[in-house]
Structure 1
Amino acid sequence: MATLTKELTSGRPLPLILNFTLPLLMGNLLQQTYSLVDAVIVGRFLGIDALASVGASTSVVFLILGFCNGCCGGFGIPVAQKFGARDYGEMRRYVFVSLRLAAVMSVAVAAVTSFWCGDILRIMQTPGNIFPGAYAYLLVTFLGIPCTFYYNLLACVIRALGDSRTPFWFLLFSTVLNIVLDLFCILVLGWGVAGAAIATVFSQGVSAALCYRYMMRRFEVLRGDASERRFSGKLARRLLSIGVPMGLQFSITAVGSIMLQSANNALGTACVAAFTAAVRIKMFFMCPFESLGIAMATYGGQNYGAGKPERVWQGVKASSLMMTIYWVFTFCVLMTCAQPLARLFVDGSETEILEDTALFLHVSVSFFPVLGLLCILRYTIQGVGFTNLAMLSGVSEMIARILVSLFAVPAFGYIAVCFGDSTAWVFADLFLIPAFAFVYRRLLRMKRQPLG
């Protein structure tokens, strides 16, 4: 029995986006769950230094994997557009070209980053007592980039077809496997911090393989003849022209995060541990914003392909309403429960780390509406094909974080680190709001014109 795809080009935007977002949200929560589990198991069973080792490389992982995941999201945009236009033959050609590009790009990125792994950590001023653990964790993560790349690409293709549920089930399987392997590698085999990374990479690899097999067997719309599986330089160039700017947008954003984390690393192991715990918790509560954004990329791409730009603006308004309601809930939770959540990672006697973690979370949640708007506008702009503008919003974030790192952190210490992300979100929105207005006007002028 074939799996059904879903068009988002007709019907009320709010329920459509909500129904599409919920499986994405569950999937993102699962991803953050095994990120949290890694940190909790490492912090509880291996100690504060091991937890700091994992955290010391967080921004670098975001830099590299963010580029890969951004490329995957970009590769899914032409698929969504052609699906919305019901040009299924061209859609299949894009899918098979993207799979070949993924093979070359992922292996190349894995080779280069693994070679420079140690130098990257030294540039980031990683404290000597946590350097070996940080190096082991980062090296394994880099070597596993092909697994991560392929899983995210396959998930993006399936979502482009309007199915956000299937990737969730494979991610659920991956999360459960990751938790079991975390405990086995760390507690039974004694592989330490490297064991946490091995568990994650292996889980994603298995999930990617199963996802590909399922997708090709169950999605009738992806079945084509041999001519549609041939490599096309023209389609590859279009995929790269969309995917690379999206990847660079994540990487450019991460450069600022690396600067901020480097400044924080210089403040000592306690600040690194607090930052690690706070970022893990923050990322968990940020999931709905990211999920809404991803949903808007598919929604925007399909409606652009169908020649219905007015629905894009309707979707932005519906998403903003959902984002605001969620923020009110999150604000209440994090303002009252930040320290109890931090105690998942460290013992209650570590009062300095607990207080620093809570401070970071209180500042971050106060600016979550700014972040929510950022996600909705950026992904919508990407979904309709204006990826270069989305990349420039990443430049705005990078500049903000660099300024905070170079001037505010040396002057004010950890409190400045707490305001680093929120300052970057404000800078990005100052660019994205007029950028979206420009894009929407362009879409209205291009209404119902053939796609290039």
Structure 2
Amino acid sequence: MKSDMTKGNIAPILIKFMIPLFIGNLFQQFYNMVDTLIVSRFVGADAMAAVGATGTIMFLILGFANGLATGFTVLTSQSYGARDENRLRHSVANAIILAVIVTVITTFISVVSMKGILRIMNTPDNIFDYSYAYIITIAYGICASVFYNLGASILRAIGNSKVPLYFLMLSAGLNIVLDLVCIVGLDLKTFGAALATVVSQGISAILCFVYIYKKQHSIWPEKRDWHLEARDTSHQLRVGIPMALQFAITASGTMIMQAAINLYGSVAVASFSAASKLQSLITQGMPSIGQTMAAYAGQNFGAGKYDRLKGGVKNALIIMTVYSVVAAILSTSLLEPAMYLFFGSAENVAIQLPWAIPYIRFCAICYIPLSAIFIFRNMMQGCGFGFLPMMGGVVELVSRAIMAALSMKFMIYELASACDPAAWLTTGIFTFVAWLYVAPKIERMFSGRQKVID
């Protein structure tokens, strides 16, 4: 099952490709939310706060590794668009070998540094043990996340966004079952929640690669492809490293934000975590359009179709402006009902809600810039331009750091709540300007190709 994104009406192509990604991302967020709900109900609010407090660390570790893995498959997408079957197969082999190396290094660094990171982030003492048990298990299981994302990215690179969805849905159901077994049945607390996540992701990863081997055998590497080749390795690292650093830099900013939130105590941490879970669920269309634009840009860049790149940006912006308005309405109106899911009684919600409201309201007004970040960043990355998207991560980091520092200095919680929207607004502007700079360069590259052909 492949999809050629280099021809046909653009908007239907984007929507058709995006919908399975959106559903898959929803399922991923849903089972993450179920993790939190089960931990909250069967272990307690402190355990829930612990899982929430480690979310930014998990984003840093997995984001860095998965950014590399996703960057490695940009070459696969471009080779598919260019109809270069030999390089397509070798790009897959090269990506797998590089992913193994990345996984080993990232796992080692994460495991040995984890306690220090938790201390630096001002993790409250009453949730420290729960936090460590959760995040160290995730760190040991990095390979599961990396290889699921690599397998899914390979399939998306050739236009297949449906099969990764099916495996993710299966993984989500399995994760919920394992949560109940590990947390409720075996009383493994936060360790059980993390173990369930790692095992379910691992099974998804295995299924992705079995499918590629069995059903997409034409892109599966032959024996001669299983080696690191200098040209492809250079290309994949040139794209993958900036993508990984962009994730890491962005995650560093969210860690600084979390450090500021942690100063206000475990009640604030739990409330912020619940609000973040709701928002993550509602805004999954944004990373979905980003994943769509990466595949779309890769194929059309490989095919040398500049006009379709411009048309893709225009159509994506229209689609996501509408989506952002709807998401803003939903996030603000569903906040209080969602808090009842996490905290149960009206008495508990009355305590938690004042900490959650500022964050949701500030974020809701900046959903359009957030959408723009995903569109422009992934368009540039799909065309092989990694530096400016990485610098967008720096803008996010600086914006969050300034707001967090002000919050910690003056002990104003609302400033900490404004870290994300401030980062989205500034980075949305930056990535828009960056695309205006990159687009003419791409057009000149294509003009040069045409002259050579003529």
Q: TM-score, normalised by structure 1?
A: 0.97
Residue 27 of structure 1: which of 24, 29, 34 is its match?
24
Which of 235, 241, 257 in structure 2 is aligned with 1:244? Answer: 241
Q: Is the 8 A contact 1:382 1:390 kept in 2?
A: yes
Kindly provide the CA deviation profile for residues 420-451 of structure 1, in whole angstroms up to 9, marking residues without a partner as x: 10000111122111110111111111116559
- The farther-off stretch of 223-232 and 276-285 is 223-232
What is the distance in 2 between the residues matched to 1:79 and 1:201?
27
C-alpha distance in 2, partners of 1:299/1:91? Answer: 16
Structure 1 residue runs without a partner (length 5+): none
Partner of 1:281: 278
Give the SS at the match of 2:334: helix
Match of 2:291 among 289, 294, 306: 294
2: CA distance between counterparts of 1:242 and 1:163?
Answer: 21
Q: 2:10 corresponds to which residue?
A: 13
Q: Is the 8 A contact 1:93 1:229 kept in 2?
A: yes
**Inter-CA distance 199–224: structure 2 relative to 1 (3 Å threshold):** closer
Give 1:51-130 correspondences, 5 Å limit. Answer: 51-130=48-127
* Percent of aligned pairs sharing the same letter: 36
Aligned match of 2:432: 433
In the TM superposition, what are the counterparts of 1:111-260 in structure 2 within 5 Å?
A: 111-260=108-257
Secondary structure of the structure 2 residue equivalent to 1:11: coil
- Quote how far apart the aligned CAs of 1:410 are: 3.1
Within 2, Cα distance between the matches of 1:231 and 1:54?
Answer: 38
Cα-Cα RMSD: 1.3
Matched residues in 2 for 1:448 and 1:141: separation? 47
Superposed, 1:381-392 pairs within 5 Å as 381-392=380-391
Q: 2:160 aligns to what SS in structure 1?
A: coil
State the Cα distance separating 1:412 from its structure 2 match: 5.1
Q: CA offsets per residue over residues 256-297 of structure 1, 9 Å max, x none?
A: 111110011011111111111111111111200110011001
Indicate the SS of the match to 2:203: helix
Shift of 1:394: 0.3
Aligned residues: 448
Instruction: Say whether the 8 Å CA contact 1:342–1:358 is kept in structure 2.
Output: no
Give the drift of 1:230: 3.1
Q: Report the 3-state secondary structure (helix = DSSP H, G, I; strand = E; otherwise coil) of the residue aligned with 1:349.
A: helix
Indicate conservation of the 8 Å contact 2:92/2:154, yes or no. Answer: yes
The structural deviation recorded for 1:226 is 2.2
Q: Deviations over 1:220-243 (max 9, x none)?
A: 331453222333133222211111
Contact 1:256 1:398 in 2 (8 A): yes
After the TM superposition, which residues 244-393 of structure 1 pair with which residues of structure 2 at under 5 Å, given as runs?
Answer: 244-347=241-344, 348-350=346-348, 351-393=350-392
In 1: Cα distance, 2:182 partner to 2:172 partner: 15
Distance of 1:440 and 1:277 partners within structure 2: 39
Which residue identity is paired with 2:136?
Answer: L
1:404 aligns with 2:403: yes
SS in 1 for 2:240: helix
Q: CA–CA distance in 1 between the matches of 2:84 and 2:137?
A: 40
Q: Are the equivalent residues in 2 in contact too, given 1:307–1:448 (CA < 8 A)?
A: no
- Structure 1 position 416, deviation (Å): 1.1
Query: CA 1:339/1:226 → structure 2, altered by over 3 Å: closer, same or farther?
Result: same
> How far 1:73 moved relative to its partner?
1.5
Q: Which letter maps to 1:64?
A: I
Matched residues in 2 for 1:305 and 1:161: separation? 12
Gaps of 5+ in 2: none
**Residue type of the alignment partner of 1:349:** E
Per-residue CA deviation, residues 310-334 of structure 1 (Å, 9 max, x unaligned), is 1111111111111111122222222
**What SS is found at the alignment partner of 1:175?**
helix
